[in-house]
Amino acid sequence: MGMMIQQFEIFVQNKPGDVSRIAEALSRNSVNIRGISTDLGSPRPMIRVITDDEASTRSALRAANMEFSEREIDVVSLPDRPGELAKMTKLLSRSGINIESLFILGTHGNNVNEIAIATDDSKRAREILSKYF
């Protein structure tokens, strides 16, 4: 099983320019975005971001007066071929583990996809996935 990284959950108003403001704040601080997704339909609209530099992300968001929280999530390396994500997610669902967010961070080296995944039980998720991935 891969490493742990921080996922930033940035709370927004769900108005035009939300994503742009975040992208600009991070780019001004030379932070590279590895994964981004929007969750705007929830009672607390947010944009989730994974970057290549957690400390700079933190200070960039603070400097831009953006409200955010962080959570530690797992990175799993999967072979980059059809069916691997299906296999991984099925293992988790069979064990009653709920996936709360998931990013494909991109291909890494020899046809390996890095997947960032947050679940409602990361300790058990890690135990299950470490046997297979």
How confident is the model over 72-84, as pLDDT tens digits? 999 999 998 899 9
Decide: 50 and 7 in contact? Cβ < 8 Å: yes
pLDDT bracket for residue 132 (50, 70, 90): confident
Question: Averaged over 24-52, what is the pLDDT?
Answer: 93
Q: Please tell me the distance from the alpha carbon of residue 79 to that of residue 82, in angstroms, as a whole number.
A: 9
CATH domain 73-132 topology: Alpha-Beta Plaits (3.30.70)
| Domain 4-71 belongs in CATH node 3.30.2130.10 | yes
Query: Is 4-71's fold the same as 73-132's?
Result: no
The residues spanned by each domain of the chain are: 4-71, 73-132
When mean pLDDT is compared across 5-19, 100-114, 115-129, the lowest value belongs to: 100-114
For 89-103, letters b (16+ CB in 10 Å) and e give: eebbeeeebeeebbb
Quick one: which of 128, 129, 127 has its CA closest to 115? 129
pLDDT bracket for residue 130 (50, 70, 90): confident
Decide: 92 and 23 in contact? Cβ < 8 Å: no
Structure confidence at residue 111 (pLDDT): 81
